[in-house]
Chains A and B, each alone.
Chain A
């Protein structure tokens, strides 16, 4: 990551430049539809198992932990609401995005990084293709489109994970758990819970692309870029989560 203030400013500049160029390219022909679909498949379907596991175990452990606290108030019946709210508002979007940052962001950075150091990006330009359009835009669009879907999957499997614990360990009826879960959610929660992954998807993919495209120093540099992509996008996700939560809460009631 940039060390000197000058390098930091330059990095912000380059980053904004990439975002602006990518944004401008979205609307200009040619459209690489096939590349977008391939990336959606890789990012969306490819991350499914990781997201399902993450969601399930997070929901389950969350239920176990909160039941302990709730039981001291004799309110274990409310568990469905608490679990659903935490998942939809915070844990679903954040955990899904962090997993995608680890899986997809790193993949993007290492793929683009190795294409850069082996001159494949130059070869692409030499053959008349704009790499931003061909490589960057499809990855951004695919990640932004798939992350909300993956978040819904994480939320749902999380609630199922919670349900499993509620029914088999806490001996709460599944009806009670599910109706509490459903009633506890407002439209604003659902909206916020889907807005977040949209933003996080953009963060993961843009940071991944930028880190890949600034690779220097051969194969060793690719490893460095990959690590940077994961670290930088994870931290940005957590920071933006705080900001977005604050904004959403202001607009709730």
Chain B
């Protein structure tokens, strides 16, 4: 695979959920290695749906979806398992397993792969460390706040170091400090680990943080910088959905200067 080949490629995807109007209506875009695509759009515009299609949790009615060059719309559930190994997903409502503790939730993927218990424990602690929740390891999801659940969901998605991360509103309803931490985590994954990402959000502030800051690795520490007057250092592009169609695609500078009435209202 060359670096020029997109990691995720969506081609003319159409998706119906009953009803006459399609939820996605001819959506096409590509995400390259180390890039984070930010999808914004009103509630019900099909943002979560596209993430589910990328994971193969649902099939599009028309069009194709390529992950690292492989058309996943042709794969069956068993073959998809192999593709999903490379992808981490943070679900909008966290979707933690109620019957399992935080430890078991985060370890789930590694348990399924049959990895060594001791290694799993170390990785679980590390992953929970990223989101600052080592203390909650013995708790059950019902004992956590909404924001804590979201962070556990992120830890669960991160484990096993997937090459692709899909985030469905990971910062919705979180306080500024926690969402800042999550944004930094996502930036670090993008810039230091070259993780390819799709980030769905309503919150323009978080979107612009991702689009204007970048991380560097120095002195055994990760530093975050603002791109200031340099444009497009942060490897992030915007996509705007409206009623299942893409109405904007490009970097933050262009989005901010857009003259489109709908986009202006959205950013205001």
Contacts and interface: CB of A to CB of B under 8 A. Distances in A.
Interface of A: 30, 114-115, 118-120, 122-130
A130 to B, nearest CB: 6
B91 A119 contact: yes
Contacts of A119: 91-93, 95
Given A126-B89, A127-B109, A120 B57 contact: no
Contact of A127 (B52, B84, B92, B114): B84
B66 interface: no
Question: SS class of chain B's interface: helix, strand, loop or mixed?
Answer: mixed
Given A118-B93, A120-B97, A130 B77 contact: yes
Nearest to B58: A122
Interface string B93-114: 1011110000000001100111
Contacts of A127: 84, 108-109, 112, 156
B210 to A, nearest CB: 22
B97 A126 contact: no
Given A122-B52, A122-B57, A125-B57, A130 B81 contact: yes
Most A Cβ at <10 Å: residue of B87, B97, B114: B97
A128 B84 contact: yes
Nearest to A125: B57
Contact of B84 (A30, A118, A120, A125): A125
Interface residues of B, number: 24
B93 A124 contact: no
Contacts of B43: none
B78 interface: yes
Nearest to B92: A119
A115 B95 CA distance: 8
Contact of A128 (B95, B96, B109): B109
A196 to B, nearest CB: 32
Nearest to A38: B99
Interface in B44-102: 52, 55, 57, 77-78, 80-81, 84-85, 87, 89, 91-93, 95-98
Given A120-B98, A122-B52, A122-B57, A129 B93 contact: no
A197 B19 CA distance: 43
